Amino acid sequence: MKNEDYTGKNYPFNWLYTLSRLGVNQEKEDDVVRRIVFSNVVYITLPIVYFFFMVIDYQSFLQPIENLRFDQFVVPIIILICGFNLWLNKLQFTTLSKLIFITVWPFLLQLIPIKLLQSPPDYFIALPMGMIFHSMLIQLMFSHKREPVLYWGSLLFNFATLIFATNILLYYNHPSQLNLSELLTNEYYRLDGILYWLLFNLTTFYIIQIIESYIVKMNHSKELIEEQKEDLNLLNQNLEKLVEERTSELMLQNEKLKNYAHYNSHVLKAPFCRIQGLLYLQSLTDKTESDNEEIESRLRESVKELDETIREIQQIVRANVP
């Protein structure tokens, strides 16, 4: 759905909005479509974060290649993977892009470096924190309603990795770092990881559900508004048609009333005036017998004409009565 606030020419970050909509070709948004948008947001923000990380830790990345650690190589690789996944979303391979990222991310950034580098000290914190963040990414990228297998399967793998994080770290721990095994074998190390995993994931799940409910309500409201607009347009069309019909009727009635006025002012007045004149002549005393006969004859003609005129007027009046 096109949003004028974000796609307008005056919006300074229009290109970011365009990137976030890659792979979205549906007018009506649903859970899966919104997860595509969320995944695009992840693919955009993570390279920015890792770029700043490389700038902050630039001395480590300016070393000769042979001195670089595996996890330092991974940072630019993850940036490339994010760009590749944006391209996959653009080609509508949205599920494939999410599977690649959710699968590759913990292996490249967590599990493989631990094995190759023999559990470096920073990974004692990075592994549980990374798996917690990874679980939040799963919730952002997959819908538990529309993609239950991908959603719960990925979360189960994530939670299992967190549970066995201490075993993984101890298994690959270098002998020179055995003093750290005391921390890893402490029961609260694992319990704290589980506690924060639950806290972050339950909070994320609840927030996403609230956002989803608001989006559904807004979409429903938009649909109602569109339906009301259609009803109003139809009503306006009917109103215009009704106004035209009523205008035509009024014009016709007005024409009939003009005819009535013509009859009243001219046709009716003529015989009436003649009758008045003939009656006046009849009242005179100095008239002959032939004059009286002619006056009576003219009176009968005028009365007949007046009667016919009155009948015509009655027909006009009846025609104007609704």
Of 179, 152, 183, 148, the C-alpha closest to 166 is: 183
pLDDT (0 to 100) of residue 40: 92
**Using N-to-C axis directions, what is the helix angle for 123-141 and 94-106, rounded to 10°?**
170
pLDDT (0 to 100) of residue 263: 64
Residue, of 36 and 255, whose pLDDT is higher: 36
Nearest-angstrom CA–CA distance, 244 and 137: 61
Q: Does the pTM exceed 0.75?
A: no
Instruction: Taking residues 207-216, report their average pLDDT.
Output: 84
Q: Do residues 172 and 115 touch, judged by C-beta distance below 8 A? A: yes
For residue 178, pLDDT over 60 is answered with no
Nearest-angstrom CA–CA distance, 190 and 198: 12
Instruction: Give tens-digit pLDDT for 271-307.
Output: 777 777 777 777 776 767 777 777 778 777 777 777 7
Q: What percent of the chain has pLDDT over 90?
A: 22
- Per-chain mean pLDDT for the chain: 80
For residue 311, pLDDT over 60 is answered with yes
Q: Using the structure block, give the residue that is written with the tokens 């956002």.
A: 211
Residue, of 99 and 301, whose pLDDT is higher: 99
Residue 143, helix vs strand vs coil: coil
For residue 177, pLDDT over 60 is answered with no
Q: Do residues 119 and 174 touch, judged by C-beta distance below 8 A? A: yes
Give the alpha-carbon dihedral of 240, 241, 247, 253, to 10 degrees: -160
Range of weakest confidence among 100-109, 125-134, 302-311: 302-311
The percent helix, strand, coil of the chain (3-state, each to 5) is 85, 0, 15
**According to the per-residue pLDDT averaged within each range, which of 67-76, 100-109, 121-130, 265-274 is highest?**
100-109
Q: Do residues 165 and 190 touch, judged by C-beta distance below 8 A? A: yes
Of 78, 74, 154, 145, the C-alpha closest to 114 is: 74
For residue 81, pLDDT over 70 is answered with yes
pLDDT (0 to 100) of residue 316: 66
pLDDT (0 to 100) of residue 1: 41
pLDDT (0 to 100) of residue 295: 75
Q: Do residues 69 and 118 touch, judged by C-beta distance below 8 A? A: no
Cα 121 → chain centroid: 48
Range of weakest confidence among 4-8, 154-158, 296-300: 4-8
